[in-house]
Amino acid sequence: MGYEPQADFGTPASDAADSITLTIDGRETTVPAGTTVMRAAAELGNNIPKLCATDSLKQFGSCRLCLVEIDGRRGTPASCTTPVEPGMVVRTQTPALHKLRKGVMELYISDHPLDCLTCPANGDCELQDQAGAVGLREVRYGYEGENHLDSAKDLSNPYFDFDPSKCIACSRCIRACDEVQGSFALTMDGRGFESKISAGTAADDFLSSECVSCGACVQACPTSTLQERKVVEIGTPDRSVVTTCAYCGVGCTFRAEMRGEQLVRMVPWKDGKANRGHSCVKGRFAWGYANHQERILNPMIRESIDQPWREVSWDEAFAHAASEIRRIQAKYGKESVGGITSSRCTNEETFLVQKLIRAGFRNNNVDTCARVCHSPTGYGLKTTFGTSAGTQDFDSVMQSDVILIIGANPTDGHPVFASRMKRRLRQGAKLIVIDPRRTDIVRSPHIEAAHHLPLRPGTNVAVLTAMAHVIVTEGLADEAFVRDRCDWDEYAHWAEFVAQSRNSPEALEPVTTVDPADLRDAARLYATGGNGAIYYGLGVTEHSQGSSTVMAIANLAMATGNVGREGVGVNPLRGQNNVQGACDMGSFPHELSGYRHVSDAAARALFEADWGVAIDPEPGLRIPNMLDAAVEGTFKALYVQGEDILQSDPNTKHVSAGLAAMECVIVHDLFLNETANYAHVFLPGSTFLEKDGTFTNAERRIQPVRKVMTPLNGLADWEVTQGLANALGLDWNYSHPSEIMDEIARLTPSFAGVSFERLDALGSIQWPANEAAPDGTPVMHIDGFVRGKGKFVVTDYIPTDEKTGPRFPLLLTTGRILSHYNVGAQTRRTDNVVWHPEDLLEMHPADAEDRGLKDGDWTWLASRAGETTLRVQVTDRVAPGVVYTTFHHPATQANVITTDYSDWATNCPEYKVTAVQVTASNGPSDWQESYDERSRRSRRIEAEAAE
């Protein structure tokens, strides 16, 4: 693809079913009713001059440049606000229109710097283009009068600058912030000549405002008023490649705009079906880690972890790693080695790692980060519905009447989808939030939840059971749906259980701390408010009853008939960009790709025939089991692809003990992460910008990842795994990831219709994609559940073993923040640290006062598992007795605190419930100071390697 921008039709497309025929410049055209004259003309190829209009925003009609003449109508109406009518005759180019437009443009240019040759937007400026389009060659008005040319720049944002001297007051940035992002952070201050864009704060700059740096305003700006710094630094792009973001599970499509091998900017792709042309600060701007100086580009080995690293060739690294694997297996047995796949790598790369374990290591000791996040989703939804994934596409939310969010913070964790959700809420949908913390979506501009149920951490099952109690006892269940689609006997048994008085909101209030009346009203709203959709996140799954909660959610959806059509469903908001894909690809120790158990002889036979090896029918070790076995001395080698288990997994002391007990740890990653402190082999990884493949997002959407630049380390991640496999004697000879996808499709029924050719043609495909659904499946379970009849499961509330008491009276829960991602390995190496330079401990004012703590004070945070120090943020976002922190910074090591309690079915750790004590501290702990020293040592090693 060259550098041709996407066509802009000026106003959004109409989805009306009726058509209207009109004539524009002598040519007849037919368009949907509700289409504007501007868009109808643009679709004919007649681009009417415009400045305030863009097809990502509602029509506005302020710039007066898009005037047209219409037979039978007086004056010259704006084409962007004029809807088409049957038989309408429009003229877009006449001498009178030319004169009017030229005069309007003269007024704009008379108060605009004439520095086009040195302006970073030269050649990429709509004002410049439209001046040419109207034939403006001179300006009759001088600069002697008042103007805005000396306006001060706002340089506060780390990614873009605001130069008000170039602003034409078109309001596109304000409208983008309002309509697309929903932050309402910008406004137009003053009137007439005094009109100016304001960030609406006392400081009046972007950094201190409510702006979340999503980039919507930058993208909407038709001049260089809002300009990305990388464009200023590098220059305008000369080519582009459409690819998929490697941050969260939304899976935004971007146009990576390049100048040679340098990435200039990431522009959200309007045709991206997951993001619809929107983005967040991470995907839009935080890609600088790809070229960060701390990135490791050459393989390294060492004999023991107390020795310095030694750079080696790829061949030597592969040979050494393979030799160690075989040595350990010969000494300790076949089961003494294993691997962990990455939820940040592509489907193809993840598939190869699990294949390496099963075909090369000859065991099933493979697991993935979903073990510590969404493994209960796989278990719970497969049990109840028959498939281990969400039911809807993201567009479905626009048909929802009631949105129930439980254990998720979409504005921080999935911000692009949250913007679409907020748009639907502004249109009138009702919101229920079940969360211990008052997240931003509970109350934000033009949005307020109908109900916020601030439950006690760990009581999700009790709250959902109480809601079910109300629905069943008040006759609000959709029994017709249940009889038709579900097992009636199982439903009757479940209904009898939830109807018991012990499960009423009043009886469970001492457990949940939720007001019974509010809970009853929320249950009634969900059951009777129309299309009800449930969205959940790690606040559901990362509990000792994570799987039970997922099944309780499914029970609620089935009981109310909220499954199988647009606007409803059960929707897990996946954390990492390809955690859904990693699960799909067979990364669990008990499942092959497509969620088929390894004990299934027919499924195994497919793989055995294709791979030419026998597949062990016994499930392998999960990550916690691997670490336990390592401490016991029976598990001795681990290959970790793109996962920092020392920072991300619970009970850090236990993880470090397990890693330290191993004889060969192979880390395959971009940076020397915390796990690499225990590594013997380091294989440098490649970023999403340096590879081809696919990611699968939270809506089961398989999307292309396209190589933008040459891998700085020399190899894409799939080539690294292939090199290790061949060193082990497997004789793989893939030449391109498309061949790996062909193998996946050959062996995985839900991917049978997927290929790179189909993805190029369709843009993306939601699995299952097969003969029955060649173009994919946006909404699941339309005519029936995958398993046949929907299964109701009794989910009795069982309190966690983690208890508060005199020593540890508070409950700690953890989460993410908008500017960072997961353990921060990528975002901490970008300017996103401006917003969140350290993890903070949120504490209610009453708890802070009891401990003599003020905002910003250092605290000592301790649990039964460990302790750390961090600063306190006093806020009423959390309830008394609850504290909250993020886990993005290794210096904090929040998971030193979390215990190894886990979900009963999947071993997903209980990150969200840890009993803690908080007291005043003098400053950072010894552990954090040692981390700083390790960081300095790592940088020194890298500098020496570079020399």
> Are 819 and 412 within 8 A, CB to CB?
no
Three-class secondary structure of residue 98 per DSSP: helix
What average pLDDT does range 153-175 have in this prediction? 93
pLDDT tens profile 422-435: 999 999 999 999 99
Cα gap 833→815, rounded to integer Å: 17
Which of 323-327, 598-602, 929-933 comes out lowest in average pLDDT?
A: 929-933
- Mind listing the domains of the chain with CATH numbers? 19-133 (3.10.20.740), 160-291 (2.20.25.90), 320-373+579-765 (3.40.50.740), 387-572 (3.40.228.10), 810-937 (2.40.40.20)
pLDDT beyond 60 at 887: yes
- If pLDDT is split at 50, 70 and 90, which confidence band does 933 have? low
Name the residue among 541, 428, 439, 519 with its Cα closest to residue 474: 519
Q: What is the pLDDT of residue 945?
A: 44
- If pLDDT is split at 50, 70 and 90, which confidence band does 936 have? very low
Structure tokens at 555: 């029970």
Three-class secondary structure of residue 909 per DSSP: strand
Name the residue among 719, 716, 720 with its Cα closest to residue 706: 716
Cα gap 215→927, rounded to integer Å: 38
| C-alpha radius of gyration, the chain, whole number | 29
Average pLDDT, the chain: 92
- Written as one letter, the residue type at 779 is V
pLDDT beyond 70 at 31: yes
DSSP string covering 841-856: EEE-HHHHHHTT--TT
Q: What is the pLDDT of residue 942?
A: 44
pLDDT tens profile 214-224: 999 999 999 99
pLDDT beyond 90 at 370: no
Burial category of 150 from C-beta neighbours within 10 Å (exposed 0-12, middle 13-18, buried 19 and up)? exposed
- If pLDDT is split at 50, 70 and 90, which confidence band does 4 have? confident
Q: What is the pLDDT of residue 2?
A: 61
Cα gap 847→861, rounded to integer Å: 13
Which of 488-497, 630-639, 647-656, 793-802 comes out lowest in average pLDDT?
A: 647-656
pLDDT tens profile 646-669: 988 888 889 999 999 999 999 999
pLDDT beyond 80 at 482: yes
- Written as one letter, the residue type at 237 is P
**How does DSSP classify residue 828?**
G
Cα gap 604→522, rounded to integer Å: 47
Residue percentage of the chain with pLDDT more than 90: 82
What average pLDDT does range 352-358 have in this prediction? 97
Which of 41-45, 108-112, 262-266, 585-589 comes out lowest in average pLDDT?
A: 108-112
